Chains A and B, each alone.
Chain A
Amino acid sequence: MNAPVETVEVSLTVNGERVKRSVPARLNLADFLRNEMELTGTHVGCEHGVCGACTVRVDGEIVRSCLMFTAQADGCTVDTIEGLSDSREIEELQSAFVLHNALQCGFCTPGMLMAAQALLRDESNPTRERIREYLAGNYCRCTGYQAIVDAIEAVAKARAGRSK
């Protein structure tokens, strides 16, 4: 790609499905997922990378989808909350969130789950302090952090117990 263009052809894999689209260069990945792919589990909160509600996985790592243009995801593998939910990858976390009342309005929940799953993938037994630090970039405006940390800690402990 040489000359700058305002419309970009992209080809990417979203939740295991290959998709090709022609998109405006300025279209961010969050809006692409919500409006083009109708995957509305990725929430758009602050649109400047602060709230964490739009967290998705690109090539296996969590990113802010509001801070990435769709054009930049060309050739990438993108996983959203719908993908992780359908594959049952986050089943335990989802159950723990329900059990611990770790959500009120639910707006932050997809981002919280994406971040929690990334943490538990890398660290099998994080302390509460570590969970809080890791989630510091995900805002819950219902102020339900205590229960969210409870839920993630419970899953970490259950997994650690099983692997003994």
Chain B
Amino acid sequence: MKAPRFAYARPGDIAEALALLDKHGEEARVLAGGQSLVPMLNFRVAAPRVLVDINRIAGLAGIEVSKDCVRIGAMTRHMELERSADVARHLPLLAQAIPHIAHPAIRNRGTFGGSCALADPAAELPACALALGATFVVAGKTGERRIAAGDFFKGLYATALKPGELLVAAEFPLPKPGYACAFGELARRHGDYAMVGLAAHGSTRGGKFLDMRVVFFGVGDRPVRSAQFERALDGQPVARKTIDTALAKIDAGLDARADLHASAETKRHLAKVLAGRVLGTMAGAAA
């Protein structure tokens, strides 16, 4: 179908965008890359009266590396991340994840901020943000505030963003020496949403897992860390045996939900299969 009628505004800066969001309240939606919002409009799942197109706001896109973090602007397109030497060097987890997001024509338009603000539970980038301990930078009428990734994702398509607020960037701490990462997902076709996905980050220094952050996505209503699994890895030798022992702990901490493609039981099974593979890759790289 076609999108319902709406009024279109294209603010030139963040202040103008915030003023529009403030004025139109819940009748307004932010249009970033549009690769999820426009299908929702075409399906008439969403029918906002006003679309605030933030594509032409200078300074919302781009990747900046500073002394202690990589800042990714909300309007940075997936393809820019995919082609970025800075991302490949400093945030290899993102570099591994991006090719799994849909298809090239979608990645040319879709944005980092759009994906995080929508908070689809099967999306790759929210999981990576959580695994890497990113902080989201949010602009509102009263100024900027920062929200840790762990506090940002609140549930199915729900975030800590308040009405009238705009996600402007995320800051990823530069990984410390000895840290490694691995990413994987199981999808029916390349580019489909994950049935189960996994983003892992942690230290393998000195042959031991430490400070592990293991995030599953496409399983529950948001990206979720498996605390039991992480605890079972932490302090143990980087070895197949450690991983196999830890896999048994996944069940308890994982609130898997059935969807169109798989039952909760299937998802829990796939989560273990995937965790075995992804952590195995991480261990293999550390060996």
- The answer to whether A and B interact is yes
Residues of A that sit less than 8 Å from B by CB: 1-6, 8, 24-26, 28, 31, 47-49, 52, 55, 61-64, 66-69, 71-72, 115, 118-119, 132-134, 136-138
| A6-B5 in contact (CB<8A) | yes
From B8, B35, B108, B191, contact of A69 by CB (8 A): B8
User: Is B2 in contact with chain A by the CB < 8 A criterion?
Assistant: yes
Residues of the B chain whose Cβ atoms lie less than 8 Å from the Cβ of A133: 190-191
Asked whether A48 and B39 contact (CB < 8 A) given A4-B50, A69-B8, the answer is: yes
Asked whether A68 and B38 contact (CB < 8 A) given A49-B106, A55-B105, A62-B104, the answer is: yes
| Closest residue on chain B to residue A44 by CB atoms | B2
| A67-B1 in contact (CB<8A) | no
From B10, B38, B79, B191, contact of A71 by CB (8 A): B10
| Closest residue on chain A to residue B77 by CB atoms | A61
CA distance A162 to B42 in the complex (A): 45
From A25, A47, A63, contact of B51 by CB (8 A): A25
| B10-A1 in contact (CB<8A) | yes
| B7-A137 in contact (CB<8A) | no
CA distance A69 to B2 in the complex (A): 11
Q: Total number of A-B contacts with CB less than 8 angstroms?
A: 108
| Closest residue on chain A to residue B1 by CB atoms | A47
Residues of chain B from 72 to 104 with CB closer than 8 A to chain A in the complex: 79, 102-104
Asked whether A136 and B191 contact (CB < 8 A) given A63-B108, A115-B104, the answer is: yes
Q: Mind listing 23 A-B residue pairs with CB under 8 Å?
A: A1-B9, A1-B11, A2-B9, A2-B16, A4-B20, A4-B24, A8-B8, A25-B5, A25-B7, A47-B1, A49-B106, A62-B105, A64-B35, A66-B42, A67-B35, A67-B38, A67-B109, A71-B10, A72-B31, A118-B105, A133-B191, A136-B103, A137-B105
| A25-B189 in contact (CB<8A) | no
| A48-B42 in contact (CB<8A) | yes
User: Is B244 in contact with chain A by the CB < 8 A criterion?
Assistant: no
User: Is B34 in contact with chain A by the CB < 8 A criterion?
Assistant: yes
CA distance A69 to B8 in the complex (A): 10
From A48, A62, A72, contact of B108 by CB (8 A): A62
Least CB distance from A1 to B in Å reads 5
Residues of chain B from 12 to 39 with CB closer than 8 A to chain A in the complex: 12, 16, 20, 24, 31, 34-35, 38-39
User: Is B6 in contact with chain A by the CB < 8 A criterion?
Assistant: yes
Give the top 3 A-B pairs by smallest Cβ distance, nearest first. Answer: A137-B103, A4-B7, A25-B8
**Residue-wise interface mask of B (98-127) relative to A, using a CB-CB cutoff of 8 A (1 in contact, 0 not):** 000011111011000000000000000000
CA distance A138 to B8 in the complex (A): 30
Residues of the B chain whose Cβ atoms lie less than 8 Å from the Cβ of A25: 5-8, 51
| B104-A68 in contact (CB<8A) | no
Least CB distance from A62 to B in Å reads 4
CA distance A132 to B190 in the complex (A): 9
From A26, A71, A132, contact of B53 by CB (8 A): A71
From A3, A26, A72, A134, contact of B5 by CB (8 A): A26
Given A26-B5, A62-B104, A68-B109: 16 more A-B contacts, CB < 8 Å: A2-B16, A4-B7, A4-B24, A4-B50, A6-B7, A26-B3, A49-B35, A49-B38, A49-B106, A55-B105, A67-B109, A72-B31, A72-B34, A134-B104, A137-B103, A137-B191
| A71-B16 in contact (CB<8A) | no
From B8, B50, B104, contact of A137 by CB (8 A): B104
| A47-B10 in contact (CB<8A) | no
Residues of the A chain whose Cβ atoms lie less than 8 Å from the Cβ of B2: 26, 28, 31, 47
